[in-house]
Amino acid sequence: MAAKPVEGRARVTAVRALIPDVLEADLAMVEPPALTFDAGQWLSIPFGPKIVRAYSIASSPRAPASLTLCADVAPDGIGSRWFRGLRPGDEVAFKGPLGGFVWSAGEARRPLLVAEEIGIVPVRAIVTELCARDPGRPLTLVYWARAAGWLVYDAELRALARARPAFAYHPIVRDGSAGIDRAEAAAPVVERLVTDVAGLVAYVAGGEATIARVREVLMAKGLERKAVKWEKFW
């Protein structure tokens, strides 16, 4: 059963840049002392009356006393500026965990995960948890980015694929300046990889157009619409 969201506090212990526009922040839980959550969930950070921003939890639920958040700060909005300004010792108020883009413990279907750029954050958490919990389960990840540097967890995922033969990892890079539609970048790979949708469940995270295009490809192959779970980042 999913944990109920709480109003909590945590303290920043470290901030690092994976690339200039993608940052991670480590938080030590203060209240409660540990947060029960599912891989794929997120925290809501308040910035004033009716102004909140959501940040996916990048770390494992197996370490509930410390969390890692990851964000694309390129948009330079209120949330981006806040994240860029975080320093060790800062206190962070939040509500969470929130979100239903999670892997159910009783799920028997084989998973296909598709991530577009910063959409990798909840997907990476799910992949890491699945590989730890059930290392022999067949698991496929398609991860798209505009350039190799934006595949921010690429080295980690390649290492995981080498250690877990049941995990098939497919990174894709497309140069957006070449006029390739973002929504079309991952779809051809999904089309090629999925030859049978029987017993399949898909998790897609990224932009709305990519989610819609991947869902369209899978449904054309016979997958039910409700078998495509999604998390929209823009």
Q: Do 115 and 219 share a structural domain? A: yes
Q: Is a pLDDT exceeding 70 seen at residue 184?
A: yes
Q: Do 137 and 58 share a structural domain? A: no
Q: Do 117 and 81 share a structural domain? A: no
Q: Is a pLDDT exceeding 90 seen at residue 49?
A: no
Q: Do 122 and 161 share a structural domain? A: yes
For the chain, give the percent of residues with pLDDT over 90: 88
User: CATH number of the domain that 177 lies in?
Assistant: 3.40.50.80
User: CATH number of the domain that 21 lies in?
Assistant: 2.40.30.10
pLDDT of residue 231: 97
> Is there a domain that residue 1 lies in?
no
Give the pTM.
Answer: 0.92
pLDDT of residue 181: 67
Q: How far is the CA of 59 from the CAs of 35, 89, 150, 193, 231, in angstroms? A: 12, 19, 19, 28, 17
Q: Do 60 and 170 share a structural domain? A: no
Q: Is a pLDDT exceeding 80 seen at residue 64?
A: yes
Last residue of a domain, one of 72, 98, 124: 98
> Is there a domain that residue 14 lies in?
yes
Q: Do 165 and 83 share a structural domain? A: no
- Dihedral of CA atoms 157, 163, 166, 172 in degrees, nearest 10, equals 30
Identify the burial level of 170 via C-beta atoms within 10 angstroms of its C-beta, where 0-12 means exposed, 13-18 middle and 19 or more buried: middle
Contact (Cβ atoms closer than 8 angstroms) between residue 154 and residue 123: no
Between strands 22-31 and 110-116, the pairing is unpaired
pLDDT of residue 176: 52
Q: Do 114 and 94 share a structural domain? A: no
Q: Do 208 and 160 share a structural domain? A: yes
**What's the rounded Cα separation, in Å, for the pair 115 and 137?**
19
Phi, psi of 109 (to 5 degrees): -75, 160
**What's the rounded Cα separation, in Å, for the pair 157 and 154?**
5
Number of compact structural domains in the chain: 2
> Is there a domain that residue 34 lies in?
yes
Last residue of a domain, one of 70, 98, 126: 98
**What's the rounded Cα separation, in Å, for the pair 63 and 203?**
23
Domain containing residue 175? 110-232
> Is there a domain that residue 105 lies in?
no
Q: How many helices (H) and strands (E) does the chain have?
A: 6, 11
Contact (Cβ atoms closer than 8 angstroms) between residue 135 and residue 87: no
Confidence of residue 48 (pLDDT cuts 50, 70, 90): confident
> Is there a domain that residue 57 lies in?
yes
Identify the burial level of 110 via C-beta atoms within 10 angstroms of its C-beta, where 0-12 means exposed, 13-18 middle and 19 or more buried: middle
> Is there a domain that residue 103 lies in?
no
Please compute the mean of the pLDDT values over residues 119-143 and round it to a whole number. 95
**What's the rounded Cα separation, in Å, for the pair 165 and 6?**
38
> Is there a domain that residue 223 lies in?
yes
Q: Do 117 and 47 share a structural domain? A: no
Q: Do 53 and 154 share a structural domain? A: no
Contact (Cβ atoms closer than 8 angstroms) between residue 133 and residue 103: no
Closest CA to 25 of 74, 112, 77, 85: 85
Q: Do 117 and 215 share a structural domain? A: yes
> Is there a domain that residue 201 lies in?
yes
**What's the rounded Cα separation, in Å, for the pair 225 and 234?**
20
Q: Is a pLDDT exceeding 90 seen at residue 116?
A: yes
Q: Do 85 and 121 share a structural domain? A: no
**What's the rounded Cα separation, in Å, for the pair 68 and 37?**
13
Last residue of a domain, one of 68, 98, 128: 98
